[in-house]
């Protein structure tokens, strides 16, 4: 989807834009199909597969970024610190593969895996399998690896795989928008779906709720992670900032808050990057997200810096999440090895 079309949708979904009649009618059809599909799973006409391992789903009911990938990375790392063997399954959106499920390792090409699964693999060293069929991805993971638990990234609507815990994420700034289903609004499912999840966590500070925030740590030169600099060292400089994420302004505003003079270059979410994206009329430094960086691994680029973010989880939220997931693992007491 082009950035201009996304901007028009955002005005409708999150602003005061008028909803076209066609969108309203399409949303009603989507609601019926979505409800029917879930009902068929519930009564057993569509099969729900159970695997020999606890499954924790991290997902959302809105389109666009709510921080699922960074949160999954954080959760996997926390479980690994506790001594658990963790596996991850994902759709692998944007990747083109000849065979599925595909094992994603840090050396995998983002063209095959998609950017988000590759980022998870790089930051966790956990086995990550991608594929359109989550059940087959989970089964392949268990066949090849010994794990205590599987995290299903963006798996809330994939009802064919039975899950033990559901964690839903929601952007504190954008919320549910106009609370209407696609395409009239940003919802994948009715807002009542949030009443059925085990935990709701907001991206962005929200009083009296579970939340996490981003904190910029530093930047490193693309292609040379050892060449690191503080973000403060770029203050009062003009920065060409590129972001191919769902809400690019969140990235640009964060950099501006650090005292940088940001020139915004928003791209479509998951947009494929080429050398042309990095051609500017000036020699100012270029800042990109880690998500975009994995798509540039084979490019020879100069003065391109990758912004590293730290996920800061509210202390009470961290305790609640780890208690919920640990209890899930302990209650099953089933290991695949």
Measured CA angle at 56 (ends 51, 57), to 5 deg: 110
Contact 86, 118 (CB under 8 A): no
Q: Which domains, and CATH codes, for the chain?
A: 10-211+313-332 (3.40.50.300), 214-312 (no CATH)
Of the pLDDT bands very low, low, confident and very high (cuts 50, 70, 90), residue 333 is low
- What pLDDT is stored for residue 2 in this prediction? 66
Distance CA 293, CA 288 (A): 7
> pLDDT tens, 210-232?
999 999 999 999 999 999 999 99
Distance CA 297, CA 102 (A): 19
> pLDDT tens, 107-153?
999 999 999 999 999 999 999 999 999 999 999 999 999 999 999 99
- What pLDDT is stored for residue 336 in this prediction? 45
Phi then psi for 57, rounded to 5 degrees?
-95, 130
| pLDDT > 70? residue 1 | no
> pLDDT tens, 269-316?
889 899 999 999 999 999 999 999 999 988 989 999 999 999 999 999
| pLDDT > 70? residue 8 | yes
Q: What is the pTM of this model?
A: 0.94
Mean per-residue pLDDT for 168-179?
A: 97
């Amino acid at each position: 989807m082009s950035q201009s079309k996304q901007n028009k949708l955002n005005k409708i979904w999150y602003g005061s834009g008028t909803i076209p009649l066609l969108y309203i009618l399409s949303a009603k059809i989507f609601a019926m199909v979505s409800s029917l599909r879930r009902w068929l799973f519930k009564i057993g006409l569509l099969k729900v597969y159970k695997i020999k391992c606890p499954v924790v789903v991290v997902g959302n009911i809105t389109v666009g970024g709510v921080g699922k990938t960074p949160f999954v990375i954080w959760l996997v790392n926390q479980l690994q610190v506790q001594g658990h063997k963790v596996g991850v399954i994902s759709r692998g959106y944007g990747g083109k593969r000849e065979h599925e499920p595909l094992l994603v390792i840090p050396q995998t090409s983002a063209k095959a895996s998609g950017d988000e699964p590759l980022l998870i693999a790089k930051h966790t060293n956990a086995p990550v399998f991608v594929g359109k069929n989550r059940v087959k991805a989970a089964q392949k993971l268990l066949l090849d690896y010994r794990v205590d638990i599987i995290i299903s990234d963006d798996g809330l609507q994939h009802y064919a795989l039975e899950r033990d815990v559901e964690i839903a994420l929601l952007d504190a700034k954008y919320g549910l928008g106009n609370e209407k289903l696609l395409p009239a609004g940003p919802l994948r499912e009715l807002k009542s779906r949030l009443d059925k999840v085990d935990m709701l966590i907001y991206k962005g500070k929200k009083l009296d709720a579970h939340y996490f925030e981003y904190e910029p740590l530093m930047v490193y030169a693309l292609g040379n992670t050892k060449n690191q600099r503080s973000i403060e060292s770029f203050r009062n400089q003009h920065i060409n900032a590129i972001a191919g994420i769902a809400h690019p302004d969140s990235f640009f505003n964060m950099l501006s808050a650090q005292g940088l003079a940001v020139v915004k270059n928003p791209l479509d979410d998951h947009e494929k990057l080429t050398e042309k994206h990095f051609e500017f009329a000036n020699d100012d430094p270029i800042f990109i997200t880690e998500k975009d960086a994995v798509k540039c691994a084979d490019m020879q680029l100069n003065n391109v810096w990758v912004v590293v973010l730290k996920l800061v989880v509210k202390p009470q939220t961290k305790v609640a999440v780890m208690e919920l997931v640990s209890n899930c693992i302990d209650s099953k007491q089933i290991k695949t090895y």
